[in-house]
């Protein structure tokens, strides 16, 4: 199983859209995908028609067991989505109580990683939509992942959030055996605005090694897909946004070679 996190400490940058778009394209290609909603706001859970305020069981359940994640629990928590090959490990508002706990002190940092190993046989990919705060949940997302995408909105204020994310990553990397490979993904790009153009130029100058060389354009079809509760490619397989996400998927797949499982 390949595990990717989609993270940025800023909200509204396209994390959830990117997670669902990539999951949809992988599923279209026949891959079995589990999407994990670690954001207490539960946007991805809502996206797929489940109410995070009403769910009795969610990712939160995984964190409640002192002796480790009970065998079978992650599988029991899965919910269906609009795509037959995508399952959702949902968020619920209860997750917010974990979000602000400081990482490291309570030994909860590997709960998601351990839960995903139980799903190893059933899925080819796990994509984790991450919370906007550095806490137990963010640490779990990054610790469980083999690769990271950082969506960055191409506007003036976005760059600060990116700096914060990159320093968070440096901190996390100190407790990992290997540095987590990551790609910066410019999103909501509008070629008619000066802010988009100059932010893109800044990213190219500042993060030459980690910047994905293309961008996700503003595309209202992506918003329409979320309103319809289906993946962007289910909604319109040839929209500008989906075409860009297809290119991003190719980049993500090429960046880190598949891990060989004996």
Residue 130 in contact with ligand ADP, rule: CB under 6 A: no
Whole-angstrom distance, CA of residue 16 vs CA of residue 67? 32
Whole-angstrom distance, CA of residue 24 vs CA of residue 98? 29
Beta-strand pair 125-129/33-37: parallel
Kindly list the distances between the CA atom of residue 23 and the CA atoms of 30, 59, 62, 170, 207, in Å, as whole numbers in the listed order: 11, 18, 22, 27, 26
Residue 145 in contact with ligand ADP, rule: CB under 6 A: no
Whole-angstrom distance, CA of residue 147 vs CA of residue 184? 12
| Shortest Cβ 164–Mg ion spacing (Å) | 17
Contacts to Mg ion by CB under 5 A = 15-16, 43
Whole-angstrom distance, CA of residue 137 vs CA of residue 96? 9
Residue 240 in contact with ligand ADP, rule: CB under 6 A: no
| Shortest Cβ 215–ligand ADP spacing (Å) | 9
**String marking each residue 182-221 x if it binds ligand ADP according to CB under 6 A:** -----xx---------------------------x-xxx-
Question: Residue 70 binds which entry of Mg ion, ligand ADP, none, with Cβ cut-offs from 5 to 8 Å by kind?
Answer: none
Whole-angstrom distance, CA of residue 112 vs CA of residue 74? 9
Segment 29-58, which members bind ligand ADP (CB under 6 A)? 43
Residue 64: CB partners within 8 Å, gap ≥ 6? none
Question: Residue 14 binds which entry of Mg ion, ligand ADP, none, with Cβ cut-offs from 5 to 8 Å by kind?
Answer: ligand ADP
| Shortest Cβ 257–ligand ADP spacing (Å) | 28
* Footprint on this chain of ligand ADP (rule: CB under 6 A): 11-17, 43, 187-188, 216, 218-220, 222-223, 226, 241
């Amino acid at each position: 199983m390949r595990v990717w996190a989609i993270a940025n400490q800023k909200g509204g940058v396209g994390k959830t859209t990117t997670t669902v778009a990539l999951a949809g394209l992988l599923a279209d290609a026949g891959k079995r995908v589990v999407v994990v909603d670690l954001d207490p706001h539960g946007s991805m859970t809502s996206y797929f028609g489940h109410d995070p305020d009403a769910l009795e069981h969610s990712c939160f359940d995984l964190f409640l067991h002192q002796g480790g994640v009970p065998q079978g629990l992650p599988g029991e928590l899965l919910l269906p989505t609009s795509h037959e090959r995508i399952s959702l490990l949902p968020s619920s508002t209860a997750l917010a109580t974990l979000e602000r706990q400081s990482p490291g002190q309570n030994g909860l940092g590997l709960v998601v990683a351990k839960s995903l190993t139980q799903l190893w046989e059933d899925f080819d990919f796990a994509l984790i939509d991450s919370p906007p705060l550095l806490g137990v949940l963010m640490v779990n997302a990054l610790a469980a992942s083999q690769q990271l995408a950082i969506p960055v909105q191409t506007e003036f204020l976005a760059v600060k959030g990116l700096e914060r994310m990159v320093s968070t990553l440096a901190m996390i990397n100190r407790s990992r055996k290997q540095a987590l490979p990551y790609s910066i993904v410019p999103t909501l790009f509008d070629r008619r605005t000066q802010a988009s153009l100059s932010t893109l130029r800044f990213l190219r100058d500042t993060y030459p090694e980690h910047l994905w060389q293309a961008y996700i354009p503003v595309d209202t079809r992506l918003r329409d897909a979320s309103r319809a509760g289906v993946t962007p490619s289910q909604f319109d397989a040839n929209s500008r946004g989906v075409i860009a996400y297809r290119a991003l998927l190719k980049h993500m797949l090429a960046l880190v070679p598949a891990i060989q499982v004996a």
